[in-house]
Amino acid sequence: MARTVVTGGAGFLGSHMCEALLDRGDQVVCVDNLVTGRSSNVAHLSERDGFEFLQVDVSEKLDVDGPVDSVMHLASPASPVDFDRIPIEIMQVGSYGTHLGLELARKKQAVFHLNSTSEVYGDPLVHPQPETYWGNVNPIGPRSVYDEAKRFAEALTMAFHRTHDLDVRIVRTFNTYGPRMRPDDGRVVSNFIVQALQGEPLTMYGDGSQSRSFCYVDDQIDGQLALLDSGYVGPVNIGNPNEFTVRELADKVIEATNSSSTVEFLPLPKDDPTQRKPDLTIARRELGWEPSVQLAEGIERTAAHFAAELNL
């Protein structure tokens, strides 16, 4: 039976990862400092065989007793709202946290799996983005705390691979959404759905012509587990290639929730990427993976979750 450490395991993505690993029979050590993660995200896992929770800040220490087969480093605040609120913590978990995760994997002779991000492409000048694109990142702008932390994390992961022959994986995610996002997370899908359910205006930044490619969390987890099991060092884009403008997203959310909300236009944040869409050639070829949940269905499932959580 495999034993996997999931940092950020009580977060949005991490909690789904812990659950999927348990479902396939793995043992899980969920590590989280609960800065943006929530114990309620994993409360339903606490009684399951093979699940352990450690409340630890992985930027400070990461000691796990016993054998470990994989270390999956998912810990990091990921909303642009957090980039302003806790920038130094984000840089710490991307640097010190990644280093401690790599050292743990090295000590245990485990696979190290890094959750990186399409933010390493910055405001991309190549579209869609293949893994070979080096990106267009402002190194000192407000988003740099996340973008550069993840770029550093990728570089450190590859340095451990080359220097210590550590078995590593790097995944680049593209706007993952779904149940267990925080309602006040600040990202566009959660904001729009909660606003639509409450009949509030949808807060559209800029004119809404910027695009994103939104990936439902179940697809994301399937792709990441396929990568973990594959032996492919990476990096690999995992995302949904169907691209929507933010304006189109607003229309879909209003339709899916049957809402009477209007749209309110607010200033576009600095360095907000104009477009983003994954080139999935490597994921298809190396993993045989393809996303299957389309946006309208994903919005409906996510809206049902928020409606239940917020009693709407």
Residues near 223 by beta carbon (within 8 Å), at least 6 away in sequence: 171, 236, 238, 283, 287, 289, 291
Nearer to ligand UDP, 50 or 135 (CB): 135
Interaction between residue 133 and ligand UDP (CB under 6 A): no
**Of the candidate residues 4, 70, 157, 175, the single one contacting ligand UDP (CB under 6 A):** 175
Window of 4-12, 16-24, 198-206, 297-305 that interacts with ligand UDP by CB under 6 A:
198-206
Per-residue contact flags (x/-) with ligand UDP for residues 214 to 253, judged by CB under 6 A: --------------------------------x-------
* CA pair distance 57, 73, nearest whole angstrom: 12
As a whole number of Å, the CA-based R_g of the chain is: 19
From the list 120-128, 134-142, 267-275, 283-291, the region that binds ligand UDP by CB under 6 A is 267-275
Position among 115, 191, 213, 302 found at the interface with ligand UDP (CB under 6 A): 191
Kindly state the tokens that stand for 117.
């991000």
List all residues 6 or more positions away from 219 whose beta carbon is below 8 Å from its beta carbon: 240, 291, 292, 293
Is 205 noted as a catalytic residue in this protein? no
- CB nearer to ligand UDP: give 84 or 255: 84
- Residue 237, beta-bridge partner list: 172
Q: How far is the CB of 89 from ligand UDP (least distance, A)?
A: 17
H/E stretch holding 176 reads strand 176-177
Expressed in angstroms, the distance from the first to the final Cα of the chain is: 41
- Taking the complex as a whole, how short is the minimal distance between the CB of residue 299 and ligand UDP, in angstroms? 13
Q: Which two tokens stand for residue 5?
A: 């450490």
Query: Structure tokens of 120?
Result: 């390493």
Using the rule CB under 6 A, which residue among 204, 221, 225, 238 binds ligand UDP? 204
Nearer to ligand UDP, 50 or 269 (CB): 269
- In whole angstroms, the minimum distance from the beta carbon of 167 to ligand UDP comes to 30
Cβ 195 to ligand UDP shortest distance, Å: 8
For ligand UDP, how many residues bind (rule: CB under 6 A)? 14
Q: Of these, 92, 157, 210, 302, which contacts ligand UDP (CB under 6 A)?
A: 210
Q: What's the Cα-to-Cα distance from 36 to each of 18, 175, 185, 204, rounded to whole Å?
A: 16, 17, 9, 24
Q: Is 80 in the site for ligand UDP (CB under 6 A)?
A: yes
| Of 131-139, 165-173, 197-205, 231-239: span binding ligand UDP (CB under 6 A) | 197-205
Given the residues 96, 121, 133, 146, the one annotated as active site? 146
Complex with ligand UDP: residue 91 or 168, whichever CB lies closer: 91
Of the two residues 60 and 264, which places its CB atom closer to ligand UDP in the complex?
264
Distance between CA atoms of residues 189 and 304, nearest Å: 13
Single out the residue of 202, 181, 189 nearest to residue 261, CA to CA.
Answer: 202
Establish whether the linkage from the previous residue to 77 is cis, with ω within 30° of 0: no
DSSP H/E element including 71: strand 70-73
188 lies in the site for ligand UDP, by CB under 6 A: yes
Tokens of 67: 């054998």
Cα 312 to Cα 298: distance, rounded to the nearest angstrom? 18
Catalytic residues: 146
What residue ranges bind ligand UDP (CB under 6 A)? 80, 175, 187-188, 191, 203-205, 210, 212, 246, 268-269, 272
